[in-house]
Homo-oligomer: A and B are copies of this chain.
């Protein structure tokens, strides 16, 4: 079966807010049919799986209004226009957790698509080990973010007990365990 990109015949900005950019596309499918399709055009994000020298994983806990739940996730944030995903990862880790690293300490993990049908979002996942938490967070006004350090030996319990739900966090955690078994082994 041949899969080809839909051709965008025209595109109209129908965003209800600058915080929720949405376009209405008139598209042509590979079979020649046309249809109207709405998608959200959001910047990529960067997310970091960070392991301390004491063999702990660094999570952040905060309320997320989309699901109306308190979430435990890896530190992450938007990649701004003038940034690379690496730069965004370094900056967000520092702001949200007070951990300062250099770009060359980060290993790329996976690029994740969180809502491929409806949203352009791509999450660039990175891994860093042997870090130290030394300084303070620098948070924006609406961010009430708690830094949570979890010993590697306890991470499986979080999963089994249903305390991890964010799909990008679960995917990157398990991918990092799969790729670096010696670092993240619980045995």
Contact = CB atoms under 8 A, between A and B. Distances in A.
A114 to B, nearest CB: 5
A141 B15 CA distance: 27
Nearest to A27: B65
Interface stretch (A83-91, A93-101, A127-135, A163-171): A163-171
B144 A30 contact: yes
Copies in the complex: 2
Contacts of A111: 162, 165
A58 interface: no
Contact of A65 (B37, B64, B162, B170): B37
A178 interface: yes
A3 B61 contact: yes
Interface string A106-124: 0000111111111111110
A68 interface: yes
A83 B123 CA distance: 31
Interface in A33-48: 33, 35-40, 42
5 smallest A-B Cβ distances: which pairs?
A174-B174, A64-B116, A14-B16, A170-B171, A167-B167
Interface of A: 1, 3-6, 14-17, 19-20, 22, 24-25, 27, 29-31, 33, 35-40, 42, 61-71, 73, 110-123, 141-142, 144, 146, 156, 159, 162, 165-168, 170-171, 174-175, 177-178
Given A66-B120, A67-B121, A156-B178, 19 more contacts: A3-B62, A3-B144, A14-B16, A16-B22, A31-B144, A33-B142, A64-B117, A66-B116, A66-B117, A66-B121, A67-B122, A71-B113, A73-B116, A110-B159, A111-B165, A112-B166, A112-B167, A114-B114, A174-B175
